[in-house]
Amino acid sequence: MTRYLRHILIVFLIMTLAMFTVACDSPDIAIVCDVTDGEISERSEYSFSARAVCGKDDCDLKVSFGGVLIYQGEDGKYSVLLEKGENQIKLTATHLGKTEERIYKVIYRAEFEIDTDISDAVIADGKISFYARASFNGADCPLIARINGETLKADGDSFTAQLQKGENIVSLTARHSDLTESKEWRVYMGEFALSTDLIETDTMDENLRFRVAASYDGQICALKVTLNGVEIIPVGNVYELTLQKGENIILMLASTEKASEQFRYKVNYINDPPKLETSIIDGKTYKGSKFGFDVWATDGLGKKLGYNCISFGADWERDGSFVPLHSVTKVWDDSGYTSFLINFANSEFLPHANDPFDLEITATDGVGRCVSRTFGMTYVPVAIGEKIGEVAFSLEGFSIGCGYFIKPCKLSVYEGVNFASILTQTIIENGWSYSSTGMVSNGFYLSGISGLDLSGNAVPEELWEHIPKSGRFYKTMPKPEQGEYELSEFCFAQGGGWMYSVNTVYKNYGFSDYYPQDGDVVRVQFTVWYGSDLGGGGAMGGSEAVSWLTDDPDYGDIMFLLAQTAEVLKDSSADRGVYDEVIGEISKWNISSATMAEQIKKLTESYGNLL
């Protein structure tokens, strides 16, 4: 037994010695891994390589993450899904009883921070302004701001967005490489409204009074009103302001805790006096007892003053003492000007016959400002039917290419005889007939003239371009099947008809109300479109004196010159060539002032010694 035990002990010692010898000769285990302890990863998906060797031999390697074994993928790498913060990867290698263990800490950190004051931003005039900046892991990174899907332009860290009524979505997106993080804010914008009787206007009253109240989504809200930068304190909701001359800016700021909107009104205060013009010639002597004249009066805003804003006075002694006149009567008042009539045979004027006096015309606006003009005049009475002078007269068809039907001539005028009587007599004396409405003594309107020579009639092409292309219009009038032409209203176009001017003014009343005075220039003309082709569109009483003429020269001087020349040439052997040439040139539609001046010079140079 003792021998047997000794034998066993010897064998055990031999084996132990052998094993110790082998162990002492075995190399250490080496773990090769591309994980860096304490590494910070910006991504949750994390892959790495790892192997263990002992000398030339691979060792058994176990990899665990969070206590769970993981295995190599097909690409030979280990993949884990990191959690935010610190993560541990454990590697354990074994070989021939040896064990090697490594533990690596990997920190997952991908933190976006978006800093903005959107929640505190106040909406102003439908816009929201805010700052916004972004960082990734503590370092600044790009930021994209959008409003309702539309990208906003940045001004540094500041953004301004135009809001729509109701809910708006503001999104901020931070970006780092291909990593993004977005946040959204819902911004509601309600509707501000003002209830006020204030309007933008031009005014001649320096005192402005208005009411105003503000609301937001139907609820009354705060309101601040300033005039030219100075706050105005109301009494209730009534504001009373004193305007400065010129432009005044009234700002109304409606506001709530989270929004405000500014409303702007411009009011121009004009304290200019009225303007006054008239057709009266200063210093003229009148033999006709009835004298019609025209007044153009406007206030400082350029608005026409009505006839009731015009007053008259007379200084009989011409010593500066004017007394009111009550017998100057209105003939017609429209949006262009007002026509008046003086009856010198009236009891106010008759005692001062043959003596010069001053007539004062005063225009007064709605706030009491006024302007006056004074004209010297003398009335020399004559008997009823006695000749009081001559007028230059013409009957024209320039707009239809017919030139003069009656060339400029002198017509005698008589006390108490209106122009309707003179015109109808002239038409008959020329072998024509006329149609009309009203009577020669009252309400006379010239509807048409029959017997005129309309050979070659044609509306000039450049004039025709102005005429509206609707309705039934003619560039030329067709030859009637029977009888002669009657050139009357609605010929050529619906705006066709006869109208007249006196001393360049197209009258807004009929022939029977016009009593001519010596030296008047009277043109009776056919229009194809309510006078716009003649420069007399305003005679219809419209709001604008429409004219299609580019220059519209004054025919006054050449009318008398041609009339005198015609009289001289009747009894003279002088050549009529220049006269006829001038007639041809000035009877074209739409001539220039330069052409007119040239023709006057030509007449004067050719016939001046005869006149």
What dihedral angle (degrees, nearest 10) is formed by the CA atoms of 27, 33, 35, 38? 0
Bridge partner list, 226: 231, 251
Do the beta carbons of residue 325 and residue 312 sit within 8 Å?
yes
Rounded distance between C-alpha atoms, residue 473 and residue 444, angstroms: 27
Where are the domains positioned within the chain? 29-108, 112-189, 192-269, 275-379, 388-549
What is the biggest distance separating any 2 CA atoms in the chain, rounded to whole angstroms? 190
pLDDT (tens digit per residue) in 319-358:
999 999 999 999 999 888 999 999 999 999 999 999 999 9
C-alpha dist (Å) from residue 407 to 153, 332, 552, 565 = 74, 30, 19, 11
Low-confidence ranges of the chain (pLDDT < 70): 1-26, 469-472, 479-483, 540-545
CB-based contacts of 233, cutoff 8 Å, min separation 6: none
CB 250 within 8 A of CB 243: no
Question: Cβ neighbours of residue 551 under 8 Å, at least 6 residues apart?
Answer: 590, 591, 592, 593
Task: Calculate the alpha carbon distances from 356 to 300, 349, 350, 569 in Å.
Answer: 33, 11, 12, 38
Could you give the count of Cα atoms lying within 13 Å of 423 in the half-sphere of its Cβ?
31
Architecture of domain 192-269 in CATH? Sandwich (2.60)
Phi and psi angles of residue 376, each rounded to the nearest 5 degrees, phi first: -80, 140
Amino acid at position 160, single letter: T
Residue 316: per-residue pLDDT = 97
Tokens of 113: 């921070």
Which CATH code of 2.60.40.420, 2.170.130.30, 3.30.460.10, 3.40.109.10 fits the domain covering 388-549?
Answer: 2.170.130.30
Looking at residue 507, the DSSP 8-state letter turns out to be: P
What is the predicted pLDDT for the residue at 471?
60
> What is the identity of the amino acid at 81?
L
Question: Would you state the pLDDT for residue 417?
Answer: 97
Quick check: 466 and 529 in contact, CB under 8 A?
A: yes
φ and ψ at residue 9, rounded to 5 degrees: -65, -40
Strand 50-54 and strand 57-58: the pairing is antiparallel
CA distances from residue 58 to 36, 55, 61, 94, 346 in whole angstroms, order as listed: 22, 8, 9, 10, 140
Check if 192-269 and 388-549 are the same fold: no
Residue 544's pLDDT is 53
**Cα dihedral 294, 300, 303, 306 sign:** negative
CB burial string 451-483: b at 16+ within 10 A, e below: bbebeebbbbeebbeebeeeeebebebeeeeee
Question: What's the distance, Cα to Cα, between the start and end of the chain in Å?
Answer: 182
Q: How many CB atoms lie under 10 A from the CB of residue 423?
A: 26
* Exposure b/e, 313-338, CB count within 10 A at least 16 = b: bbbbeeeeebeebeebeebbbbebbb
Lookup: tokens for 576: 């009529």
Residue from 47, 26, 24 nearest 35 by CA: 47
What's the predicted TM-score (pTM) here?
0.71
User: Which stretch of DSSP H or E encloses residue 136?
Assistant: strand 127-136
CATH assignment of 275-379, given 3.40.50.2020, 2.60.120.10, 2.60.40.10, 1.10.10.10?
2.60.40.10
Q: Which residues contact 24 (CB under 8 A, 6 or more apart)?
A: none
CATH class of 29-108: mainly beta
12, containing H or E segment? helix 2-25
* Class of the domain covering 112-189: mainly beta
pLDDT in tens, 223-255: 999 999 999 999 988 999 999 999 999 999 999
HSE toward the beta carbon, residue 40, CA cutoff 13 A? 5
Q: Decide: 131 and 158 in contact? Cβ < 8 Å.
A: yes
